Amino acid sequence: MTDGKNTNALWGGRFSGSPSEIMETINASIDVDQRMALEDIAGSLAHARMLAATGIISSKDAEAIESGLLTISGEVERGEARWSAALEDIHMNIEARLRDLVGEAAGRLHTARSRNDQVATDFRLWLRAACDRIDAHLSAYQAALVAQAQSHAGTVMPGFTHLQTAQPVSLGHHLLCWVEAAERDRGRFADARRRLNECPLGAAALAGTAFPIDRAQTAEALGFDRPMANSLDAVATRDFALEVLAAAAICATNLSRFAEEIVLWTSKRFNFAALSDAWSTGSSIMPQKRNPDAAELVRAKPGRIAGALQTLIIVVKGLPLAYSKDLQEDKAPVFQAIDDLELALAAMAGMAADLSFNTDAMAEAAGEAYSDATDLADFVVRELGKPFRDAHHIAGSLVKLAEARNVPLSGLSLDEMKTVEPDLTDDVFSVLSARASMESRTSYGGTAPVRVKEQAEHWSARLKERQGQ
């Protein structure tokens, strides 16, 4: 065997010169793919056991390989592993370390395998675990929102469209909206996870192998649902990573919208909510400031995460079958995006639990800006039997009148109202309040506290039930 310094110890047989320094630098991926060390070891353990079970290697060699891999695994876990860029990537680094530890048997591990199926396997294992961690984060985020929603089912706040005061809504209802979004995010990650959970190992370089391997055994040992059916597909596709990134980009986009609301609500202009010191930062110049930096950073995360999706789409686009080295550029954007998303989710769960609400300010704002005008129009439909279009016009005229007097709708006298619609009765005042408006909206999915309580309880039970599973 040649020394790693001159030609590559693992693939240098047909080489006599060593790579240029820049060649080595552009080729090496160890800085990035060392994060898959444990996945790589898991894949190798499964492969070695299968090679022994099928008689392709001796059980003595398999045992040596296994004990060496377990030693390396301990080194990785203790942060003692030393990686070398000259050995390119995590796969060759681990194999080289294995050779140091167990000698010749290490050279038998790569029988009936290629780095192409190896890296695809490692990456799927890594992403599968990432999907599971993200699901746990989303569940914690949902739980924090549901707890707040349960306390605030009856808290009235202005609902907005176009960021203009529209109709009063329950704060709990508003928060449960983000629980629904998080649930769809969980569904997208679960869906991506289900599809990616197939095993590429045994596809070898691209065409399969002549050795009598047992792909079902390795697939099962690694917790995959089945071996991938097409060896070219197994080594060439990265659509599984694209799916996870797409789910991550959508999830980050959902988070950014609530993050923006936290920024708005904690601004003195709104004064709807406050974050404690744990979730606020100060200004280096303005002593009075409390900034919602974490919420702003979550608001910014879709830039990085959707950027990662874009990066990988462009890397993969137009690549012919099967493996091309371009695919080595898949991991950096994925790791970055998953790190960003996990941090964003943890921050959102923390802030969702931390927020304290200024229910007086919310109630006051809910009653402003003629947010009960729709209720007035609905009253005219219901009590006076007018078509909604006419009722809309009547309510609009009453808003105009109230605006001219600078009073809320409930500040007009019945006589003043009768100048617009003579058939109006005193009963109209019963619908002219933000709370009455919110309480009246009892349709399924509506904002009435009775409905919101039902939904919050439903979610609480559902989250607990799933946690127990």
Give the nearer residue to ligand ARG in terms of CB position, either 115 or 174.
115
Site string for ligand ARG, 292-331 (x = CB under 6 A): -------------------------------x-x-xx---
Helix or strand holding residue 160 (H, E): strand 156-161
Cα(367)–Cα(74) distance, integer angstroms:
63
User: Looking at 29, 148, 165, 256, which residue binds ligand ARG (CB under 6 A)?
Assistant: 29
| Residue 1, token pair as written in the block | 């065997």
Site size with ligand ARG, rule: CB under 6 A: 11
Which of these ranges, 113-121, 145-153, 161-169, 399-407, lies near ligand ARG under the rule CB under 6 A?
A: 113-121
- Residue 162 a catalytic site member: yes
Beta carbons of 208 and 231 less than 8 angstroms apart: yes
- Within a 13 Å sphere around the CA of 466, how many CA atoms are in the beta-carbon half? 14
Nearest-approach distance from CB 118 to ligand ARG, in angstroms: 7
Q: Which candidate, 383, 370, 452, places its Cα nearest to that of 412?
A: 370
* Residue 156 dihedral angles phi and psi, to the nearest 5°: -95, 140
Closer to ligand ARG at the Cβ: 332 or 361?
A: 332
d(CA 394, CA 388): 10
Question: Given CA atoms 227, 232, 234, 235 in this order, what sign does their dihedral have?
Answer: positive
**Rounded least distance, CB 337 to ligand ARG, Å:** 17
Q: At closest approach, how far in Å is the CB of 210 from ligand ARG?
A: 19
Strand partners, 227: 199
Distance CA 40, CA 459 (A): 39
Q: Which is nearer to ligand ARG, 31 or 454 (CB)?
A: 31
Is position 67 annotated as part of the catalytic site?
Answer: no
Judged by CB under 6 A, the stretch of 97-105, 112-120, 195-203, 413-421 that binds ligand ARG is 112-120
The two most distant CA atoms of the chain are separated, in Å, by: 102
The three-state secondary structure class of 276 is: coil
Q: How far is the CB of 122 from ligand ARG (least distance, A)?
A: 9
327 vs 424, beta carbon nearer ligand ARG:
327
What H or E segment, with its residue span, contains residue 274?
strand 273-274
Interface with ligand ARG in residues 114-143 (CB under 6 A): 115-116, 119
- Closest-CA residue to 141 (of 183, 101, 84, 171): 183
Minimum gap (Å) between residue 158 Cβ and ligand ARG: 52
Give CA–CA dist 150/181, Å, rounded.
18
**How far is it, in rounded angstroms, from Cα 44 to Cα 122?**
10
Q: Which of 59, 67, 267, 283 is catalytic?
A: 283
Site string for ligand ARG, 58-97 (x = CB under 6 A): -------------------------------x-x------
Phi, psi for residue 364 in degrees, rounded to 5: -65, -45
CB of 90 to ligand ARG, least distance (A): 7
For residue 206, give the 3-state DSSP assignment: coil
Q: Report whether 427 contacts 382 (CB < 8 A).
A: no
- The position carrying tokens 């991926």 is 29
Question: How near is the Cβ of 309 to ligand ARG at its closest, in Å?
Answer: 19
Identity of the residue, 25 or 467, whose beta carbon is nearer to ligand ARG in the bound complex: 25
* The amino acid at 153: A
3-class secondary structure, 157: strand
Least CB distance to ligand ARG at residue 48 (A): 19
91/124 with CB nearer ligand ARG:
91
Q: Contact, 28 vs 85, CB < 8 A?
A: yes
Yes or no: say if 181 and 464 are a contact pair by the CB < 8 Å rule: no
- 33/185 with CB nearer ligand ARG: 33
Residue 257 carries which side chain, given as an amino acid letter? R
Nearer to ligand ARG, 36 or 351 (CB): 36
Interface positions with ligand ARG (CB under 6 A): 29, 33, 89, 91, 115-116, 119, 323, 325, 327-328
- Catalytic site residues? 162, 283
